[in-house]
């Protein structure tokens, strides 16, 4: 199995994927960043950091590490694919 086949693909602007994939606390208000994710609802809570490294797949409850998630936008892949290519 290739690396791409082992990765979960999340279309970050797709409503269905936003319902399926959540922050570890079950919120859908997460956004990707360069090397992790950030959740607005978590960040609004006292003493809670909004940053996290695993998305929850609500289909099976599994936590998916950032490196196993392929994020897609309407114009193509998000930064995770670019991270794997290395720096110039």
pLDDT tens digit string along 25-53?
999 999 998 789 999 999 999 988 899 99
**CA gap 36, 18 in Å, rounded:** 16
**Model pLDDT, residue 6:** 73
Place of tokens 């936590």: 63
**Model pLDDT, residue 79:** 66
Cα angle 75, 80, 82 (rounded to 5 degrees) comes to: 75
Q: Are 22 and 55 in contact (CB under 8 A)?
A: yes
35: tokens are 């090397």
Could you tell me the pTM of the whole model? 0.78
């Amino acid at each position: 199995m290739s690396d791409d086949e082992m990765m979960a693909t999340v279309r970050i602007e797709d409503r269905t994927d936003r319902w399926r994939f959540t922050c570890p606390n079950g919120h859908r208000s997460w956004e990707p960043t360069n090397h992790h994710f950030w959740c607005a609802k978590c960040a609004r809570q006292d003493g809670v950091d909004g940053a996290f490294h695993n998305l929850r797949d609500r289909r099976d409850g599994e936590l998916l590490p950032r490196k196993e998630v392929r994020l897609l936008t309407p114009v193509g892949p998000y930064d995770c694919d670019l991270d794997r290519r290395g720096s110039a």
